[in-house]
Structure 1
Amino acid sequence: MMKKELSTEQREELLGILKTRFEKNKHRHKGIEWADVLANLNANAVKLWSLSEMEITGGEPDVVGYDANTGEYVFCDCAAESPKGRRSYCYDHEALEARKEHKPANSAVAAAEDMGIEMLTEEQYRDLQKLGKFDLKTSSWVKTPANIRKLGGAIFCDRRYDTVFVYHNGAESYYAARGFRGVLKV
């Protein structure tokens, strides 16, 4: 089993990256102070590891909200395009197993689980798009409702013509320009 903690050096480097991104993008988290976010990060090494995985795979995680019920800050992948290190995945394990040939390296659902994050829902994806323009050239798998998945499909989103679109595909499909975005509460 993989050890889910960062060395002191990795931790300090990541915290520096997150702080710089936080300060450059204040419009994403109005009314939230970095010192408060940092206190939560320092109290949770496993979630810091998950944020590191988001960063390593190209997600550029940043704070996009605060959950007053739990006292947690909401981080989301804010890279302009779907994270490069998470593309060319089919939707889930069942879809991966259904492919007879040309199997992708992983599925979006499994990769998110391995990273300790959640895939965005359609609603969360639409909320993210209110903070900027994302996926102008790529697309991102989103959590698919059970009734759609049961019928073999999965949904993904992107932004074209200044509009957020939701599409469907067979869950076993995968494309070089489609990845997934994640969310993590810390």
Structure 2
Amino acid sequence: MTKKNKELSLEQREEILRTLKARFEKNMNRHKDLEWAKVQAKLETNTEKLWSLNEMERTGGEPDVVGHDKNTGEYIFYDCSVESPKGRRSVCYDREALESRKNHKPENNAIDLATAMGIELLTEEQYRELQILENFDTKTSSWVKTPANIRKLGGAIFCDYRYETVFVYHNGADSYYAARGFRGSLRV
């Protein structure tokens, strides 16, 4: 994708900023001691990241600020939709898994979608951090970044939240389900 494709119109920029501000203000428990004005200033100088946040929003992720890296000055956004983002479900883990399927291939894969959106899949650790804020994925599940040794053997991992516990599971990387998508992160 070229840089031109990753630009929002003025109207789109204003709309995503309004959406993010409203979510930020509604969910202060996710980002105590952070100020929207500082987040917005950072977003306005990083239009490509704003485009990525718009893609997260467009696919149902409901991105929100979940932290601030004091070393880099970056704000950390995660998908905070209650369930795995609807616009990113029914995908296998990566391109290799997609190409290995002989029949009933899904339309896409989590890694390629995340890359095209300019975001990263959550790691298992990040997924657990997210669950401290609220309960997510109580009816769905989300692929998470899979360690190379597991992926090399054909597997991939995903997480969900059931029985007041985060569960980490494995599957063949080529599997896909209507209730499994992926959650992303973005640093701005």
For Structure 1 versus Structure 2, the TM-score category normalised by the shorter chain is: over 0.9
CA distance in 1, matches of 2:69, 2:56: 20
CA distance in 2, matches of 1:93, 1:49: 24
Q: Which residue is 1:133 aligned to?
A: 135
> SS at 1:130's partner residue?
helix
Q: Which residue is 1:81 aligned to?
A: 83
Q: Which residue is 2:110 aligned to?
A: 108
- 1:171-182 alignment to 2 at 5 Å? 171-182=173-184
CA distance in 1, matches of 2:116, 2:71: 26
Q: Which residue is 2:18 aligned to?
A: 16
Match of 1:154, as an amino acid?
A
- The CA deviation at 1:101 is 1.2
Deviations 1:76-117 (A, max 9, x none): 000000000000000000000000111101100000000000
Query: Which stretches in structure 1 are left out of the alignment for 5+ residues?
Result: none
Question: Percent same amino acid at aligned positions?
Answer: 74
148, 157, 162: which one pairs with 1:146? 148
Q: Which residue is 2:157 aligned to?
A: 155
Deviations 1:141-163 (A, max 9, x none): 00000000000000000000110
Match of 1:146, as an amino acid?
A
Matched, 1:169 2:167: no
Match of 2:173, as an amino acid?
A
> SS at 1:96's partner residue?
helix
CA distance in 2, matches of 1:160, 1:20: 29
CA distance in 2, matches of 1:144, 1:151: 11
Deviations 1:20-42 (A, max 9, x none): 00000000000100000001000
Match of 2:19, as an amino acid?
I
CA distance in 1, matches of 2:54, 2:129: 23
Match of 2:50, as an amino acid?
L
Q: Which residue is 2:122 aligned to?
A: 120
- 1:67-78 alignment to 2 at 5 Å? 67-78=69-80
TM-score, with length taken from structure 2: 0.98
43, 46, 49: which one pairs with 1:47? 49
Query: Which stretches in structure 2 are left out of the alignment for 5+ residues?
Result: none
CA distance in 2, matches of 1:69, 1:146: 28
Q: Which residue is 1:57 aligned to?
A: 59
> SS at 1:143's partner residue?
coil
Deviations 1:116-174 (A, max 9, x none): 00000000000000000000000000000000000000000000011000000000000
- 1:82-101 alignment to 2 at 5 Å? 82-101=84-103
> SS at 2:137's partner residue?
coil
TM-score, with length taken from structure 1: 0.99
